[in-house]
Amino acid sequence: MKPMSHTLHLPLLAVAVVLLGETSEAASRRNNRPRQNPPAQNQNQNPNPQTPTAKPAAPATVAFKDVAMNASFYFASDTNHYFRYTKASATMATSPTGTATPMSPDAQVLPADAAKASAPPKG
């Protein structure tokens, strides 16, 4: 009986090898896609960098003491020109709500007419 058991195991072994071979072949076909590696860190992603464009010149600020009385102005840090103030005296300014704000004569401000001239065109 022993010779017959060897003949039974040999075809089963051959079938197993064929099935496993097809499975690994299918897996290798799946894995043969080209890899898409992420770019290495700290490398320039743009191969043709352009020179940076020059920023438009910032409008010139003036000292608060040089603004005319009752003239409107913005603080130099108010780049979006949200808060328009009016010079009330040599050391005081008023906000649109009427709040009086003490000012240093040397504080840098942007006159409202200069802010209009430097504003980008709308539309």
Domain ranges of the chain: 62-116
Give the separation between CA 27 and CA 104, rounded to whole angstroms.
Answer: 77
State the average pLDDT for the chain.
75
pLDDT confidence of residue 52: 62
pTM of this prediction exceeds 0.85:
no
Which of 18-27, 55-64, 102-111 is the least confident region?
18-27
- Interval 48-56 mean pLDDT: 62
Residue 101 pLDDT more than 60? yes
Strands 72-75 and 108-111 turn out to be antiparallel
Give the type of residue at 22: E
Name the strand (E) or helix (H) holding 6. helix 2-31
User: How is residue 61 written in tokens?
Assistant: 């600020």
